[in-house]
Amino acid sequence: MTKKSNEIGCDKCHWTGYVIDDSFTNARAVLCDCIENCEECGGSGNVLSENKNGYSYVAPCKSCGVIRRNVKLYNISGVPAKYAHVLQVDAGLDPKRMNTALQKALKYAKQEFVKKYPTKNGFLLMGPSGLGKTHLAVGTISELTLKHGVKCMFKDFFYLLSELKQAYSQGTPENDVILPLVEADVLVIDELGKGRSNEWELNILDQLISKRYNASKKTLITTNYVTYDIAKEIGDKHEILDVRIGDRIASRLYEMCEFLYLEGRDFRKEQKKTQKSQ
Ligand SMILES: [Zn+2]
Ligand SMILES: [Zn+2]
């Protein structure tokens, strides 16, 4: 492969400028040597520029500045290492092998949300585990950070609550606890409703969701619980999301998110089958 004039990267990083390291708890993007040794800026990431009055100022390198910023954003987003390979919404997904529900969710995430970001609502994916909910949510924030420079954050619901509890018990000021979660332009809350939440926890969650709503921030949610409508439709005994998280939070989420129900065969098992047959 030869380098096109406007392209960054090299063969080693497949022309992305980074390689992904999955050996820690969270996935990490590591700048490739071709960026570390950028010819434009000598690897500092900055260049001296001059404005029209003749004053010089430090500006991000035109060649590698964007990729440096996006890699930093990816590394603070907290994507779990087991999703290190999911760098875009449709990573590893073949629409021909997917059921209609998953196709619809993929289309919303890719064509509506990422492509039209930030105009579209976030999304809430519900359904049993193993259908690709977290995969889609992680793919969305990975693509938004690495390709579009959007500040995103991934939080497992259960850990989120214990983190908040710990911070409060240590007397951390409320703003220091909630603000980073409100500031993320896109926040993923994985497995919403998991475990038994007490009133205090639901109250904090309510505050977080309300603040994000007021700041017009996008929230992506995965949950194993379903809405009343879906429970009625599938005629199955399902636990109801509104009951798990309370009507107040649920009704806020109805306004902030497109609700999508995933059903059907176990996505992970299908993936393994596909890998084996390849
Ligand atoms: Zn490279
Ligand atoms: Zn550079």
* φ and ψ at residue 166, rounded to 5 degrees: -60, -45
How many A from CA of 43 to the centre of ligand 1?
13
**Residue 274 pLDDT class (50, 70, 90 cuts):** low
Confidence (pLDDT) at 1:
45
**Residue 233 pLDDT class (50, 70, 90 cuts):** confident
Composition of the chain by helix, strand, coil, percent to 5: 45, 15, 35
Give the closest ligand to the alpha carbon of residue 19: 1
| Environment of ion ligand 1 (residues, CB < 5 A) | 9-10, 12-13, 32, 34
How many A from CA of 75 to the centre of ligand 2?
19
Confidence (pLDDT) at 265:
52
Place of tokens 């010819």: 39
Confidence (pLDDT) at 72:
98
Per the CB < 8 A criterion, the answer to whether 36 and 8 are in contact is: no
Give the closest ligand to the alpha carbon of residue 38: 2
CA distances from 106 to 42, 171, 277 (A): 40, 41, 24
Query: Which residue intervals of the chain bear CATH 3.40.50.300?
Result: 83-274
Instruction: Return the percentage of the chain with pLDDT > 70, whole number.
Output: 92
CA distances from 273 to 134, 186, 268, 276, 277 (A): 20, 33, 9, 5, 6
What is d(CA 96, CA 100) in angstroms, rounded to the nearest whole number? 10
Which of helix, strand or coil describes residue 73? helix
Confidence (pLDDT) at 273:
56
CA dihedral (113, 116, 121, 122) in degrees, to 10, reads 30
Per the CB < 8 A criterion, the answer to whether 52 and 30 are in contact is: no
How many A from CA of 30 to the centre of ligand 2?
15
pLDDT tens-digit readout, 75-127: 999 999 999 999 999 999 988 888 899 999 999 999 999 999 999 999 999 99
How many A from CA of 115 to the centre of ligand 2?
27
How many A from CA of 147 to the centre of ligand 2?
17
Nearest to 106 by CA among 118, 123, 128, 83: 123
What is the mean predicted confidence (pLDDT) over 133-158? Answer: 97
How many A from CA of 105 to the centre of ligand 1?
33
Which of helix, strand or coil describes residue 163? helix
Does the structure show a pLDDT above 90 at 70? Answer: yes
Per the CB < 8 A criterion, the answer to whether 33 and 12 are in contact is: yes
pTM metric for this prediction: 0.91
For domain 83-274, the CATH superfamily is: P-loop containing nucleotide triphosphate hydrolases (3.40.50.300)
Per the CB < 8 A criterion, the answer to whether 79 and 141 are in contact is: yes
Give the closest ligand to the alpha carbon of residue 8: 1
